[in-house]
Structure 1
């Protein structure tokens, strides 16, 4: 297991294994328009993670990363895809689809709990411990320390295995069809967030 660090784009010639790609982002905060994209993490589920850092003033000209994220033939795995899709679309100009979101899958299957964070899923479903100590650290600094790199890598390290468990549960509970409809809607949900409808239920009568 190796964490590979890259600046501004994936290196030329890097090949990911076929199949789903796990993706996560780190930003300067939770307001996409204000808080810049600092890091994109990726894993093909075969043991290594790749971190792509964007520096202040970046033009986000990352053709190889964009091609991977925008590949319509490759499933993208996220935990809370709604946020990551908006950040990637706003800064890189590419919409990641199709999508599987482990948070949505958890909410549709783990109805016996209200704990749907990645740490909770990894602990219960995979019997592994996920540290969140670096979650609120400064991702825009001149250097990312080893603890930050390990934290960032761990956010994509388990998504392939979580998808397997959660997909099985969705099938068991006969909720795969509704889950897939939710996943398919996520790119539109991200665009609505960016367009100013983040906190409005447009399906409501009000």
Structure 2
């Protein structure tokens, strides 16, 4: 037992050092990412200056089972209210932490591609542009988009902006999420764990002899 004790202590120390590196990613940091918090009547739509967690730029069009169905829940957002519009949310992040930013986008049903584009910004830097045609479709064509973004350690800004034909009809968004990326243990830490386990097994065999 005296032979094993130092190795057990060593293994516990390595495990403790490695644990933060393998921490769970956890839930989304965004508030109201599926736009279900502000309930409106079924088969309706409403233009609002803001939603729970989101600020309109200058306003946001919320839809519930109207001109398509949501990807998650019952409600989704269309970013072309009376003209091209947008929305933003500021979220606290950790310095240098990587996050997976994801969302679902669909062009509006039976709407030409020129009216559907939406730009996505992280801290006012363009991440990507979504677009596509809805002509000939009778349902939303939800597509998942996912990008890696890095936190600054302060309040970081996520913004979506319609940039197509400003005709009060445009692309739709739903199920927006921002999740911290779980770090992978460094190779050196893994090697230490394996070495400690090997030493523990060897010491066990010697003690039996």
Considering fraction of residues, name the structure with more helix. 1
Higher relative contact order (CA 8 A, sep 6+): 2
Considering fraction of residues, name the structure with more strand. 2
Bigger radius of gyration, 1 or 2? 2
State the TM bucket, normalised to the shorter chain: under 0.3
Question: What TM-score comes out, normalization by structure 1 length?
Answer: 0.21
